[in-house]
Structure 1
Amino acid sequence: MFRGLLPAAIFLLAPAAAAQTLEVPGRTDSPPSPSRCENAIGSEDSCVRVLACVGNDGVYFDGEAIGWDTGTLRGFMSDGHDCIGTWSSGGLGGTGFAQLACDDGTTADVIYYSQDPDTGTVIGRGQDSAGRFIKAWSGLNVLAYLTQDSTPELPCTAGAIPIS
């Protein structure tokens, strides 16, 4: 049902391995940009934006998922920590999974469980190793899905966070 739609922002609900010092390929001083993604649909080079609210204090993840059916996940938290992980689709009932580890030792696990039919955006929930709740979104049109009153924003618990 959701095969190949890159549910990369969706982290497994099982304990993730301890993080080590990580280097995120292509890291710049600003969050990953959809313009860096090739969007080669069906290709191992396919790339989509990944966004997630983490906890209740306004922390968020901004990154990208690379691959098709399985792949890598990379980006960083708004508090400055680099993160890298893996994702896969094709789980029971069309679910997708991902694991993320950040350079501060935080790990995160989320399961993708639904897709918005209009934008193709996948939606997931999970938790990080600090016990913070995660809500995540990913897809080719994720910004369209998250746009309210012409401004894309993450609907986080601490309040909406404008994104671009």
Structure 2
Amino acid sequence: MLRDAFLGVSILFLSQAAMANETLNLDGLSPKTNPKASLPVCENVPYDKANCVRALACIGTDGVYFDGQAHGWDTGIVIGFLDDGTACNGEWVAGGPQTPGRASLICENGMEANVLYHTLNNETGTVIGSGLDNQGREITAWSGEKVLQFLTGPDDNTPVLPCGPAPIPIS
């Protein structure tokens, strides 16, 4: 009898320990992992193929945005994520004095986008572009070493993306 009681207590203890190691995930209440954490370290290295700068874009006017990186010099790749965590990648090529730069992006959810970079903010080194996605939504894009400085207003220290009815704080 004592052996059975000991066995019952042991089973109860082991099952509680096993349950303590399980993670309970509830839709809408569980912490999300930040997909940006999987991106490589991004460092501005001018005139070098190892160059990397932040790339951001608003897609439409409903708060959808892209947050990622542009790698390379004169030509390269774009990698990152939409605001819902959808992975995207693409290519870019710099323009010249009379020609715009171009970027294309394809996302895992089927979204495709093309952007022409046509403006340079010399103070921050930020290029600004516009384009369309395959759903007809307008895109505004920014890329550069100090893109967050460019997207920070004069009255606030928080950079924001103007992607919808309310500005979206970014860091």
TM-score bracket, normalised by the shorter chain, equals 0.7 to 0.9
Matching residue within 66, 70, 73 for 2:75: 70
Q: Which has the larger radius of gyration?
A: 2
Bigger relative CO (Cα 8 Å, ≥ 6 apart): 1
Which residue of the other structure, out of 52, 59, 62, is the alignment partner of 2:57? 52
Q: Which runs of 5+ in 2 are unaligned?
A: 1-32
- Do the aligned partners of 1:34 and 1:48 also contact (CA within 8 Å) in 2? no
TM-score by length of 1: 0.78
* Secondary structure at 2:109 match in 1: coil
CA RMSD across the alignment? 1.9
Deviation at 1:158, TM superposition (A): 2.4
Q: Write the mapping of 1:1-164 to structure 2, written as runs, cut at 5 A.
A: 29-31=34-36, 36-91=41-96, 93-148=98-153, 149-164=156-171
Determine if contact 2:35/2:85 at 8 Å carries over to the other structure: no
Q: Tell me which protein shows more helix as a share of its residues.
A: 2
* 2-structure distance, mates of 1:142, 1:32: 19
Quote how far apart the aligned CAs of 1:156 are: 1.9
User: Which structure has more strand as a fraction of its residues?
Assistant: 1
Unaligned runs of 5+ in 1: 1-27
TM score, norm. by length of structure 2: 0.75
Tell me, in whole angstroms, the C-alpha distance in 2 between the residues paired with 1:56 and 1:35.
29
Moved over 3 A (4+): 32-35
The letter of the residue matching 1:57 is: D
